[in-house]
Amino acid sequence: MIKGGGWRAAGLLLCGGVLAVAVLLSLSVGNQLFGAHDVYLALADFSGSDNDRVIRYLRVPRTVAGLLVGVALGLAGALMQGVTRNPLADPGILGVNAGAAVAVVGAIGVLGVTSLTAYVWFAMGGALVATVVVYLVGAIGRGGATPVKLALAGAAISALLGSVTSAITLTDLSTLNEFRFWVVGSLSMASGPVVTQAAPLVAVGILLALVLGRSLNQLALGDELAQSLGTRVLLVRVAAGLAVVVLAGTATAIAGPIGFVGLAVPHVARSLVGADYRWILPWSMVLAPALLLLADVVGRVVVRPAELQVGIITALIGAPLFIALVRRRRTAEL
């Protein structure tokens, strides 16, 4: 574990370096390989050549989308794990992404909404409803919202919402055709307008999340102790819930439901910097987009000329980690 504020800040800078490499790779690797010089020229001195167009109109939006989605999912996962004191929390596992997904599919398939500006609100609405229902069901009874209860409630909600989604997609071939590419979780549909519309929402979520770090530390001590330390527990919960809804909803609207990034990254951050959320949140915010972009780059390369969607790669990386976490917990807790 890295101790001391200076070292942690230096480590954060190092993570930033990794992220920069990931961004560069995401800009240059794909069906066509570009050197760093090509990338620089396309950005600084746009000549309108095919290479410049590919970089500027395909790779740049895709990379920015990866950054936004990664930041959003990493922070959302860290917030959920902090607020619920639950190591298994993740927007995918707890059904938040499924809620956003079903709302988007409903907006596309039933209401005929096509622009991101419109359906990002649907995504957030769906995420909100799913979050509230999962939390209420999971929090009933002795011990409050335990990991097992929340994960099960999330699985039940996901199953229910999945059948609503299939009811919509099965009745309409063109909705199904869009949906099947979107539901795996992919950055390839991102375009310039999409990311410029989503960026402010993610920014709001980031602000809200980073402000909450100190309160999450106190919440980790238990509700009573946090209260006696002067934390307004309910306010913190609601604020964190809002941030999760904004972040996970926007991420799902951009790239579809991507699981396990929000689960894995905060765990990695926690094992590196310890239990202090004032550090976990910024580390997650930098590591998550790095992971997502690297996963996306890997997905572009492994089955060339076809593409393995980023959501599949993150599931392949993240689900084994989830299983390992489940195995590691003492039986009494599970």
Partner 1 sequence: MRTVRVGPVSTRVDVASLVGSSVAWALTLVVGAVSLTVGDYRIPLPVVLDTLAGHGTLILNDIIVNNRLPRVLVGIGVGTAFAVSGAIFQRLARNPLVSPDLIGVNAGAALAAVLMITVFGSGWIPAGALAGSLLSAIAVYVLAYRGGVSGYRLVLVGIGVTAIISSATAYLLTLADIYAAKSASQWLAGSLAGRTWSHAWVIGGALVVLLPAALASARQLRLLELGDDLARTLAGRVELSRALLIAIGVALAAMATAVAGPVAFVALVAPQLARRLVRERVAGLLAAGALGALLVVASDLVAREIFAPTALPVGVITAFLGAPYLLVLMARANRIGRGG
Using left for φ > 0, alpha for ψ between -120 and 50, and beta otherwise, residue 330 falls in beta
**Could you tell me the smallest distance in angstroms from the CB atom of residue 330 to partner 1?**
10
Regarding 242 and contact with partner 1 (CB under 8 A), the answer is no
Closer residue to partner 1 (CB): 93 or 206: 93
Query: Which residues inside 113-142 make contact with partner 1, applying CB under 8 A?
Result: 133, 137-138, 140-142
Q: What is the DSSP string of 66-119?
A: HHHHHHHHHHHHHHHHHHTT-TT--TTTTTHHHHHHHHHHHHHHTS----HHHH
DSSP 8-class letter at 331: G
How many beta carbons lie within 10 A of that of residue 180, not counting itself? 10
Closer residue to partner 1 (CB): 186 or 215: 186
Q: Which residue has the tokens 């330390």?
A: 229
Using CA atoms, how far apart are residues 292 and 314, in angstroms rounded to an integer? Answer: 7
Closer residue to partner 1 (CB): 54 or 156: 156
Q: What is the 3-state secondary structure (H, E, C) of 198-251?
A: HHHHHHHHHHHHHHCHHHHHHHCCCHHHHHHCCCCHHHHHHHHHHHHHHHHHHH
Query: Which residues inside 149-168 make contact with partner 1, applying CB under 8 A?
Result: 149, 151-153, 155-157, 159-160, 162-164, 166-167
Q: Which residue has the tokens 């596992």?
A: 93
Nearest to 70 by CA among 305, 224, 303, 286: 286
Regarding 183 and contact with partner 1 (CB under 8 A), the answer is yes
**Could you tell me the smallest distance in angstroms from the CB atom of residue 314 to partner 1?**
9
Nearest to 318 by CA among 82, 70, 26, 63: 70
**Could you tell me the smallest distance in angstroms from the CB atom of residue 152 to partner 1?**
6
Closer residue to partner 1 (CB): 20 or 159: 159
Classified as helix, coil or strand, 142 is coil
Nearest to 187 by CA among 257, 284, 290: 257
Nearest to 165 by CA among 244, 254, 248, 100: 100
One of 176, 189, 268, 301 touching partner 1 (CB under 8 A): 176
**Could you tell me the smallest distance in angstroms from the CB atom of residue 211 to partner 1?**
32
**Could you tell me the smallest distance in angstroms from the CB atom of residue 251 to partner 1?**
17
The contact pattern for partner 1, residues 303-332, with x = CB under 8 A and - = no contact, is ---x-xx-xx--xx-xxx-xx--xx---x-
Site size for partner 1 (CB under 8 A):
56
> What six digits make up the tokens of 155?
């699985």
Regarding 189 and contact with partner 1 (CB under 8 A), the answer is no
Query: Which residues inside 29-58 make contact with partner 1, applying CB under 8 A?
Result: none
The contact pattern for partner 1, residues 201-240, with x = CB under 8 A and - = no contact, is ----------------------------------------
Is residue 288 within 8 Å of residue 261, measured between CB atoms?
yes
Closer residue to partner 1 (CB): 187 or 206: 187
Chain residues in the site for partner 1 (CB under 8 A): 88, 92-93, 133, 137-138, 140-143, 146-149, 151-153, 155-157, 159-160, 162-164, 166-167, 169-171, 173, 176-177, 180-181, 183-184, 259-260, 306, 308-309, 311-312, 315-316, 318-320, 322-323, 326-327, 331, 333-334
